[in-house]
Amino acid sequence: MISIDNVTVGYGTVGFITAVDQVSLTIGDNEIVGIAGESGSGKSTLMRAIYGDFSTGLGIKSGTIAGRFTDAASDQTIEKPSSQFRDLWWDQISYIPQGSMSVLNPLMKIEQQVVDGLPKRERGGSRKDLRARIAKFLAGFGLEENVLDAYPHQLSGGMRQRVLVAIAAFVNPRLILADEPTTALDVVVQKKILLMMVEIQRRLQNTLVLVSHDLGVHYQITDRLVIMYKGKIVEAGRTADIFANPQHDYTRNLIASLPRLHGQRAVDRVGAGA
């Protein structure tokens, strides 16, 4: 679905600060890919480059990022570089940016924000029907209809984050990019939201790319894992394999510093239909 080929990404118009250095990665259909690494290792930059948001001084210096999507309506295959993904946003591709609590407009009720985020094809029909469809969808995330009438500050952090995940999933995108979607939340709420994300991915059979600095999160829900260190991918493979047999010193230290992981992984529980 996404091919990242030897890409170097950075910032700046005068000088160039390299944030992601000669990275290659293939992201397939129907999988959860995790990106881990310490703060400043380039995770968010890589996500922005995949999403194709070059509005913030971000640029690809060399290499390519390309995507391949099947348009559900026409069954046509769309192939293009990420610099041209813009017209796929909130259609084929959803993005939950880091610190996304602040993405919600504090002056606007949730219903309007959800509706504004939808592609045209979802906005046909009456507003009442659309509201009913959205409410039904939110119910699947444990959110009551009256959430739609609330302003963001009237919701807890966990509820706001559920709203964002729900908006991202509502359009049935082929690719969801989620950058630290649960980091600011307490552990119990975090667990619920992660489980919800796995369930959505399994149901939509799409691709979820999840950034977290927390290896425990990756252990719980990712199929494959990429470890970044100082802008480079230092290790990549099946999550279970990486935890069983980490190759790189940096990964070994990360895993050693975790509280002991035990129990069945959340992905396996969902996969088993529990």
Q: Contact residues for ligand ADP (CB under 6 A)?
A: 11, 17, 19, 37, 39-45, 56-57
3-state secondary structure of 168: helix
Q: How far is the CB of 44 from Mg ion (least distance, A)?
A: 3
Nearest to 83 by CA among 112, 53, 63: 53
- Bridge partners, residue 79, by sequence: 68
Residues 6+ apart with CB under 8 A from 228: 23, 35, 36, 37, 41, 42, 43, 46, 234
Partner that binds at residue 45, options ligand ADP, Mg ion, none, CB closer than 5 to 8 Å by kind: ligand ADP
- Measured from the CB atom, the residue of 98 and 172 that comes closer to ligand ADP is 98
What is the distance between the alpha carbons of residues 47 and 58, in angstroms, rounded to a whole number?
11
- Measured from the CB atom, the residue of 3 and 183 that comes closer to ligand ADP is 183
Q: How far is the CB of 220 from Mg ion (least distance, A)?
A: 19
Q: How far is the CB of 231 from ligand ADP (least distance, A)?
A: 7
Partner that binds at residue 158, options ligand ADP, Mg ion, none, CB closer than 5 to 8 Å by kind: none
- Measured from the CB atom, the residue of 43 and 174 that comes closer to ligand ADP is 43
3-state secondary structure of 265: coil
Partner that binds at residue 57, options Mg ion, ligand ADP, none, CB closer than 5 to 8 Å by kind: ligand ADP
Q: How far is the CB of 184 from Mg ion (least distance, A)?
A: 12
Partner that binds at residue 90, options ligand ADP, Mg ion, none, CB closer than 5 to 8 Å by kind: none
Q: How far is the CB of 258 from ligand ADP (least distance, A)?
A: 18
Assess contact for 207 and 174: CB atoms under 8 A: yes
Q: How far is the CB of 30 from Mg ion (least distance, A)?
A: 25
For residue 62, report the phi and psi dihedrals to the nearest 5 degrees.
Answer: -155, 165
- Measured from the CB atom, the residue of 44 and 251 that comes closer to Mg ion is 44
Partner that binds at residue 172, options ligand ADP, Mg ion, none, CB closer than 5 to 8 Å by kind: none
What is the distance between the alpha carbons of residues 151 and 104, in angstroms, rounded to a whole number?
9
Assess contact for 181 and 96: CB atoms under 8 A: yes
Q: How far is the CB of 214 from ligand ADP (least distance, A)?
A: 12
**Residues lying near Mg ion in the complex (CB under 5 A):** 43-44, 98
What is the distance between the alpha carbons of residues 13 and 59, in angstroms, rounded to a whole number?
9
- Measured from the CB atom, the residue of 12 and 125 that comes closer to ligand ADP is 12
Residues 6+ apart with CB under 8 A from 74: none
Residue nearest Mg ion, Cβ-based: 44
- Measured from the CB atom, the residue of 46 and 200 that comes closer to ligand ADP is 46
- Measured from the CB atom, the residue of 69 and 250 that comes closer to ligand ADP is 250
Residue matched to tokens 């950075």: 10
Per-position DSSP letters for 91-111, written without gaps between them: TTEEEE-TTGGGGS-TTS-HH
